[in-house]
Amino acid sequence: MEPATPAPPRPHRVVVLALDGVLTFELGIPQRIFALPRDAAGRPLYEVVTCSVREPGPVRTDADYTVRVEHGPEALATADTVLIPATHELGPLLEEGVLPAELASALTLVRPEARLVSICTGAFVLAAAGLLDGRPATTHWGYTAVFRRLFPAVRLDPDVLFVDDGSVLTSAGVAAGLDLCLHLVRRDHGAAVANDVARRTVLPPH
């Protein structure tokens, strides 16, 4: 009797949390970068899923259109990596450093072992949830003063493209999210895979 063929490894699941007011550029970064890496057999190394804090449906963007998100917050419980892009509707986050109730509730679904990643002002969400306390982090340079006022426990460095603090990673503004996601591919699968993604997306590898 021939031994059973082992099942192929499950792709690493990246769950992108799309908040109302999400910046469309930042929302597209994880899909563009993580959809490309493949193993030697051509199988995808990542699976990208987008969810909202409510039931599936439309999510406002910073543009003159909405996006329809097919998953609700329950997808966060399945994530190996949770990625939070920027939103221009920070609301109470900029005023008091407080998470809206439905967002706070959604974040409780994230597994303790999941990796947490933010792009640009997505760092405000992680900071308001207390997930950056005592850690180094970065965000868009234009929000440095308000971030430091609201979250003095975070070791903010606004002069870098991204900060890798192990299980929690943050990027500076806008296109720095590309650098951070490419860094994650390099960290997870090595320089050869990351360089292939960089060539295909016409990005510098570092």
Closest CA to 147 of 170, 175, 124, 120: 124
Is residue 51 part of the annotated active site? The answer reads: no
For the chain, the distance separating the N- and C-terminal CA atoms, rounded to the nearest angstrom, is 49
CA 65 distance to own-chain centroid: 22
d(CA 40, CA 34): 16
Question: Alpha helix (H) ranges present in 52-132?
Answer: 92-96, 101-107, 122-128
Closest CA to 182 of 82, 37, 62: 37
Q: Out of 48, 120, 125, 150, which one is annotated catalytic?
A: 120
Catalytic residue IDs: 120
